[in-house]
Homo-oligomer: A and B are copies of this chain.
Amino acid sequence: MSYSWYNGKIDLTENTRISTDDLGFLRGYGLFDYFRTYNGRPFHWEWYWERFNNSAKLLRIPLTLTKIEAESILKELLSLTQMDDVAFRFLLTGGDAPDSATMTKPNLLIRAENLPSSSLEIFEKGMSIITHNYTRDIPEIKTTDYKRLLSLQMELQEKGANDVLYHTNGLLTEMSRSNIFLVKNGQIRTPKSGILKGITRRTVMELAKPDFQITESDIQVEELFEADEIFTTSTNKKVLALTTIDGKQIGNGVPGTVSNELLSRFNNLINNW
Q: Which of A18-26, A200-208, A243-251, A258-266 contacts B (4 or more CB under 8 A)?
A: A18-26
Cβ of A244 to closest chain B Cβ, rounded Å:
21
Contact B143 A137 (CB under 8 A): no
Query: Is A4 an interface residue, CB under 8 A from the partner?
Result: yes
Interface string of A54-69 (1 = CB under 8 A from B): 0000111000000000
Asked whether A28 lies within 8 Å of B147 as measured between CB atoms, the reply is: yes
Tell me the bound Cα distance from A143 to B16 in angstroms. 25
Interface status of A17 (Cβ within 8 A of chain B): yes
Task: Please tell me if A94 contacts chain B, counting CB pairs below 8 Å.
Answer: yes
Question: Judging by beta carbons under 8 Å apart, are A4 and B28 in contact?
Answer: no
**Which residue from chain B places its CB closest to the CB of A4 in the assembled complex?**
B20
Q: Quick one: which of A137-152 are within 8 Å of B by CB? A: 137-138, 143-151
In contact, B59 and A151 (Cβ under 8 angstroms): yes
Chain B residues with CB below 8 A from A138, complex form: 147-148, 151
* Interface of A (DSSP majority class): mixed
For chain A, residues 159 to 212, give those with C-beta under 8 angstroms from any C-beta of chain B.
none
Specify the chain B residue showing the minimal Cβ separation from A22: B25
Q: Is the pair A26, B91 in contact by a Cβ cutoff of 8 Å?
A: yes
Chain A contributes a number of interface residues (CB within 8 A of B) equal to 49
Pair A25/B25 contact, Cβ less than 8 Å: yes
- CB neighbors of B among A70-94 (8 A): 89, 91, 93-94
Which residues of chain B come closer than 8 Å to A14, judged between CB atoms? 19
Give every chain B residue within 8 A of A144 (Cβ-Cβ).
25-28
Segment among A38-46, A97-105, A216-224 that sits at the interface with chain B:
A97-105
A residues near B (Cβ < 8 Å) are: 4, 6, 13-14, 16-20, 22-30, 32, 58-60, 89, 91, 93-94, 99-103, 109, 111, 113, 116, 134, 137-138, 143-151, 153-154
